Amino acid sequence: MKILYVTKALIAPPYAGCMQRTVHIARQLKPCGQVTMLAINRRFDSDSVNVCRQEFSRFDQILLRSYTDFPKRRGELLRKFHMHWPTLCGIRADRQGQALFETLAAQHDVIWFHTLGAAQPFSLPRTTPMVMDLDDLNHCKYEQSARIQTTLRFRLSAHVQSYKWKRLEREALKRYAAVVVCSEQDKQLLGGDDKIFVVPNGFTLPAEKPTCGPPDPLRLGFIGTLGYHANHHGLIWFRDQVWPLILKQRPNASLRIIGALPPEKNRVKAEGFEYLGYIADPGPEMQTWSAMVVPIVYGGGTRIKILDAFSKRCPVVSTRIGAYGIDATDNIHFLLADTAEQFAERCLQLMDNPSWGKTLADEAWTLLTQKYQWETIGVEIRNVVSEVLKPICQP
């Protein structure tokens, strides 16, 4: 069997959440047969391309035009038009790119797209079975974003984009042989159709089970790129609403922030905030945290950073939106809080009681090993392919 895997997220470190999903689903498809990766984007870096060429027996790429390739005013108008028009989500491939896609599609038995954005540039074949991995439900992200916008203009924009993505996600059920989402909640939001399959995000376990040393009672942590608006907004909410309540009780507390360093002007600054930059192996650092905070107040899909904390046996305090889609239980696997007062209280409880944090981390580790290993999830991934091919294989 030959599978064409089409994605906009290349597999090069430092891994963002979507990159981790891309690489692991593609790897779990390999037992089904030969996997060809087709990467489409406005630009590629050589490290990403080299990683992909080493990972897959065949790797092709299509370079899309960028909005910056147009005159400035025209490019900006085109970008906004594509953002809000109900049937579009980006620039189409040119004739050469479309021809390469059609050639590859004809040579493969199944096409697996990672996100609607990976399929949108092309005219799609009518005969080859196709799988659409929606990953996040974008309509949820914009629906929640509309609630926090402070101006009428941005609220209207978010509502329009929510409507647009909801329509595109619903139409995917008609267009593709199978639709993949990250959680049972997302499946039900799309109507619970039998052709919707749940493939949760997972995380690779370390070679050895991490030890739980005594954490620093004055130290909390955060992981995420602040270039992603939901992370940036969440950290601002934490700084403005939660952090003063923590400092009132623990004046010397610190929040250690791991992730690609944003420009100085985009950093969320506060007394006790320490930026560490990207760390290839954050495990030793996370072992010193009393808790990892996930103060996300809007977004779609599941937060891989929570699974990352589970794999490091680091306690987690999260909003319910931050923990969305992860089949874990409050007060057993992590602590949930949605108001600033609750969030601060939860953090202070773990700073005061490290043994409770260890108990939460132990339960979270067990959950991760039972449900969120990619080797376990791989069974569901390959089942999607089997179901898609079943009508063709039946006499």
Same domain, 378 and 366: no
- Which has the minimum average pLDDT: 30-39, 84-93, 112-121, 336-345? 84-93
Report the share of the chain in percent with pLDDT over 90.
69
Residues 71, 155 within the same domain:
yes
347 and 388 in a single domain? The answer is no
Mean pLDDT, to the nearest integer, of 349-375?
95
Residue 328 lies in a domain: yes
The pLDDT tens digits for 267-284 are 999 999 999 998 988 999
Q: Is the domain of 171 the same as that of 113?
A: yes
271 and 157, same structural domain?
A: no
pLDDT value of residue 395 = 42
| 147 lies in the same domain as 224 | no
Q: How many domains does the chain have?
A: 2
pLDDT of residue 334: 98
Greater pLDDT, 3 or 78: 3
Query: Please, what's the b/e burial string for 69-104 (b: 16 or more CB within 10 A of its CB; e: otherwise)?
Result: eeeeeeeeeebeebeeeeeebbbebeeebeebbeeb
Same domain, 380 and 366: no
What's the pLDDT at 39?
92
Domain, as residue range, for 28: 2-202+374-393
Instruction: Dump pLDDT digits (tens) for 136-171.
Output: 899 998 998 898 888 999 999 999 999 999 999 999
CATH number for the domain including 266?
A: 3.40.50.2000
Residue 300 lies in a domain: yes
Residue 156 and residue 54 in one domain: yes
The tens digit of pLDDT for each residue in 211-253 reads: 877 899 999 999 998 888 889 999 999 999 999 999 999 999 9
CB 228 within 8 A of CB 257: no
Between residues 303 and 364, the one the model is more confident about: 364
For residue 212, is it within any domain?
no
d(C-alpha 30, C-alpha 314), whole Å: 32
State whether 169 and 228 are in the same domain.
no
Instruction: Dig out the tokens for 322 from the structure.
Output: 């931050």
Q: Of the candidates 132, 136, 143, which has an alpha carbon nearest to the alpha carbon of residue 196?
A: 132
